[in-house]
Structures are given as C-alpha cells and as structure tokens.
Amino acid sequence: MESTFVLARYFSNFLILLIRLGVILFLLPFWSGKQFPKTFKIGIVLAVAYVLAPVVPMEIRNQDILMVLIQELLLGAILGFSARIIFAAVELAGTLISDSMGVSIATVFNPEMGQSTEISTILGLLAMLLFLALDLHHDLIAIIAKSYEVLPVGRIRIDNLLVKGLSIGGQVLVLAVKIAAPVLVGMIIVNVLMGFIYKAAPQVNIFFVSLPVYVFIGLVILFLSTPLLINFLGAQFSGLKEEINQILILAKG
C-alpha cells in the first residue's frame, strides 16, 4: 500500500514537472527551432522530468492541483518568452529593415522562426552565434534547475507573473526599433532626397531609380552598423540572466 502511494506521488510530481520544463524548453532559443525533431525534444523533457521528480520540492495539496498547473504553465511561458525576447526583437527588426528597403517580398526558410525575410534570417543567425558564443545556452539550463530551488512547485505568485508577462510585448517592440534604427533613419533621409530629386526632375521615373538605391544604401548602413549591433546584442544578452533572476524574485513575492 505504501509503495503504491509513493509511486502515485512520484507520477503526479513527474506530470507537474513536465509542464514548467516542457514549456520552457519548447520556447528556448535554439532548442525551439525546427532543426530538432519534436520527438527528440519531447524525449529530452521526459528524461529531465524523470530525473528531477524524486528530488524537486513540492508544496501542494490535492485541492490545489489545478492552481499549481496554471502557475507552472504561466511561469514556464514567461521564462521561455523572456529568453526569446531578444530573438523576437531581432526578427521584428529584420522585418522593419526589409520593409524600409523594399525587399520584404523576398523570404527564406528560417529553422528558428519559420518563413522570414532575408534580413531577418541574417540578423537571427548573427544573434544565435553570439548567444552560443557567450555560452548562454548552458546558463539558461542552469537557471531552469535553479528555478525549482527558488520557486518550489506550489509557491508561485501568479499576480506578479501576469504583470511581467504583459510588459514583455512592449519590450520586443522597443528593442526592435533600437536594432533597426540606423537603417530606418538612413531610409528616411534617402526618401527625403528622392523627394527633392522628383521635384527637381519630374521626368525621372523615381520608382525604378529609388529601389536599387534603397537596397544599396540600406545594405551599406547595415554593414557599417554591424559592430554597434553586436555590442548592443551582447549587452542585452549579458543582462538576460539578471532579467530571468528578477522574474524568479517577482514570482516568489
């Protein structure tokens, strides 16, 4: 009888662990891409949950299970999205740059984001290389393990998490505009110059003249601003661990 109770308790712990782990791992940069089969990712989640189930502290009662499941789902989603926020901003910045240059119609398959513009794919690969070079993939795995020490299952402040979750979308937009700013400003200046040219020489077919100019100037600005972009992304990635630690503190209350 006692062994049956222990087994049932272990199994319930295992299922609860799957929620936080599964949501985080399926949203983490690099892991969430389509370069890894879903069966492989599911296997990793099951294996990690199997190892952690006997040792992770849990403070739940039977009547609290539904609330615990909601807490775990929300915490996993916010931690996962917080880790992806920079990549989402890079993707959006690439789209903004492509639109301003007039090349947004050209898309390629990006294993991390699906169909993306070519600029988004290039910037995404740059961000991913920087992410791996800074060894953040290992740091994030360590933070996931730490989250169970800081926030045992059943001890999460859901109200603080909701407030933090609502702010993530705004952060993506702000970061995207900062990343795309050099090219966007350059394209505004080119647009103004093209307007002067059209006024001075109305017979010039400004559409056919401007398109290659936009592409050329945009690529030149993007190339020249790459060192600034790397420094900016590096600073954002360096603050990522602190950001996630702040989320854990907020959720602890």
pLDDT at residue 253 is higher than 80: no
Q: How far is 249 from 87, CA to CA, in rounded Å?
A: 24
Strands 107-110 and 114-117, sheet pairing: antiparallel
> How open is the CA angle 34-18-59, to the nearest 5 degrees?
150
- The 10s digit of each residue's pLDDT in 180-235 is 999 999 989 988 888 888 777 777 676 777 788 888 888 899 999 999 999 999 88
Whole-structure pTM value:
0.80
- The 10s digit of each residue's pLDDT in 20-71 is 888 888 887 766 666 667 787 788 888 877 777 777 766 666 557 778 788 8
User: What is the per-residue pLDDT for 197?
Assistant: 80
Q: Residue 232: which residues within 8 A CB-CB, separation 6 or more? A: 178, 179
- The 10s digit of each residue's pLDDT in 67-114 is 878 888 888 888 888 888 888 899 899 889 988 887 766 555 555 555
